[in-house]
């Protein structure tokens, strides 16, 4: 088995209630009030909740109706993704002042490898403090951070002193920290796996550590090996600054179930236009169009088609989605439709750039 790598210094920065905090910053009247970003209607879903709303149990991905039941004074605001992206870019510029090894996970969180950093500061803890202070001073938002020897532990640690706090797990503290950790905090342990582990008497990292790799693989498949390693602090995944986007998507949840395919096509037109906008902003195209259908009974179905060319045009996206819609008869009324585009040209562009550089090198050799 790989050995524990105690030499790396990894920071996980996680913005506090990011979408909701941006809304409260831009509209001071919302500060201190329970706020949800998303839809509060019958079919709406909470995208983010302020800490004032979380006190009442309001959480992201929760139906808006349930959120209102939990908090009668809850204020709903529509998401402004362009604004969140704008703020996210400002924050990432701060990260790059310290290291080029920045791996964004989403608009509101990222890993930073500061083992070697631009400030020459040997303390990852002090770097995290400085970054959080700069985010507050320059952007106006608070962030939390976790600091440790690998990405897994840093991510878990960033949640410990939220909001507006940080936690460092030093190399000599790693094993004790993991042994005390509830297994539900381990990356890759979802609700089903958590319940299965609890049934087996595995509640903490210490319990998990008593199980052999063969035992864990027998009951949890390939993930068993992952659990065996991370409970021993072994997680060698590098901070990858050039993570390629795999897909782009747009979707809509409807206020009323839709049974007519005519109405579905009308909705898909708007979804295709929104996806085209996102593709243009990201400057990417793709070949595989996927239609996402969530029925009124909450079952999910996807239908895909790979085109012989790269596209980012709403008309082609809509025509392909229309073809997929008619591919088979709808089994029920529909509450959500979405279109995604994958098999993007990002990898192709990278290869083209590499080939271009190789050609330039060859030309230089001949010129010489």
Give the confidence band of 349 by pLDDT, cuts at 50, 70, 90: low
190 token code pair? 């979802």
More confident residue, 365 or 244: 244
Q: Residue 6 above 60 pLDDT?
A: yes
Higher pLDDT, 38 or 142: 142
CB atoms within 10 A of CB 327: 11
Instruction: Give the pLDDT score at 110.
Output: 97
CATH of domain 181-230: 1.10.150.20
The domain segmentation of the chain, as residue ranges, is 10-17+82-173, 19-80, 181-230, 247-350
Dist. CA 140–CA 133, nearest whole Å: 10
Position 50 pLDDT exceeds 50:
yes
What distance in Å separates the CA atoms of residue 278 and residue 82, rounded to the nearest whole number?
A: 10
Q: How far apart are CA 117 and CA 126, in angstroms?
A: 12
pLDDT for 359: 44
CB-CB neighbours of 239 under 10 Å: 23
Domain boundaries 10-17+82-173, corresponding CATH code: 3.30.70.270
Bridge partners of residue 291, in order along the sequence: 303, 339
CATH class held by domain 19-80: alpha beta
Task: Return the pLDDT at 348.
Answer: 52
User: pLDDT confidence of 353, banded at 50, 70, 90?
Assistant: very low
Tens of pLDDT along 164-179? 999 999 999 999 999 9
% residues pLDDT > 70 (the chain):
92
For residue 296, name the pLDDT band (cuts at 50, 70, 90). Answer: confident
In this structure, are residues 49 and 61 in contact, taking their beta carbons and an 8 Å threshold? Answer: no
Confidence of residue 2 (pLDDT cuts 50, 70, 90): low
Q: Is the pLDDT of residue 363 over 50?
A: no
More confident residue, 156 or 191: 156
DSSP lists the bridge partners of residue 285 as: none
Considering the domain 247-350 in this protein, what is its CATH number? Answer: 3.30.1490.100
54: left (phi over 0), alpha (psi -120 to 50) or beta: alpha
Range of lowest pLDDT (85-89, 157-161, 260-264) = 260-264
105-109 average pLDDT score: 92
Annotated catalytic residues are: 109
- Under the banding of pLDDT at 50, 70 and 90, the label for residue 299 is confident
Cβ contact 250:338 at 8 Å: yes
Q: Determine what percent of the chain is predicted with pLDDT higher than 90.
A: 69
Question: What pLDDT band is residue 347 in, cutting at 50, 70 and 90?
Answer: low
Looking at every residue in the chain, the average pLDDT score rounds to 89
């Amino acid at each position: 088995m790989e050995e524990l790598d105690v030499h790396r210094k990894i920071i996980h920065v996680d913005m506090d209630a990011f979408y909701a905090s941006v809304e409260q910053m831009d509209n001071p009247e919302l500060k201190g009030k329970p706020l949800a970003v998303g839809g509060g209607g019958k079919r709406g879903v909470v995208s983010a909740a302020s800490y004032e709303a979380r006190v009442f149990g309001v959480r992201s991905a929760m139906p808006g109706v349930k959120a209102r039941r939990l908090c009668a004074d809850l204020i709903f605001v529509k998401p402004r993704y362009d604004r969140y992206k704008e703020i996210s870019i400002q924050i990432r510029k701060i990260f790059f002042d310290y290291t080029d090894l920045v791996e964004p996970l989403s608009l509101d969180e990222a890993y930073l490898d500061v083992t070697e950093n631009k400030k020459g500061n040997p303390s990852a803890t002090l770097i995290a403090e400085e970054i959080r202070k700069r985010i507050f001073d320059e952007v106006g938002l608070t962030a939390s951070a976790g600091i440790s020897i690998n990405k897994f532990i840093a991510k878990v640690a960033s949640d410990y002193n939220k909001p507006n706090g940080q936690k460092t797990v030093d190399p000599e503290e790693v094993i004790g920290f993991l042994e005390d950790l509830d297994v539900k905090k381990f990356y890759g342990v979802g609700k089903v796996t958590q319940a299965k582990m609890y049934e087996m008497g595995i509640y903490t990292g210490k319990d998990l550590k008593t199980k052999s790799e063969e035992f864990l693989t027998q009951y949890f498949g390939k993930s068993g090996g992952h659990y065996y390693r991370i409970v021993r602090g072994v997680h060698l995944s590098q901070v990858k600054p050039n993570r390629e986007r795999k897909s782009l998507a747009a979707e809509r949840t409807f206020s009323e179930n839709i049974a007519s395919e005519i109405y579905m096509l009308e909705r898909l037109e708007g979804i295709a236009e929104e996806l085209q906008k996102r593709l243009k902003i990201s400057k990417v195209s793709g070949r595989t169009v996927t239609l996402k259908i969530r029925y009124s009974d909450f079952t999910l179905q996807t239908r895909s088609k790979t085109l012989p060319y790269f596209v980012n045009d709403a008309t082609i996206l809509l025509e392909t989605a229309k073809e997929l819609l008619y591919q088979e008869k709808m089994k029920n009324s529909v509450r959500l439709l979405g279109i995604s585009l994958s098999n993007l040209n990002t990898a192709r562009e990278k290869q083209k750039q590499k080939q271009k550089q190789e050609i330039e090198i060859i030309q230089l050799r001949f010129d010489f």
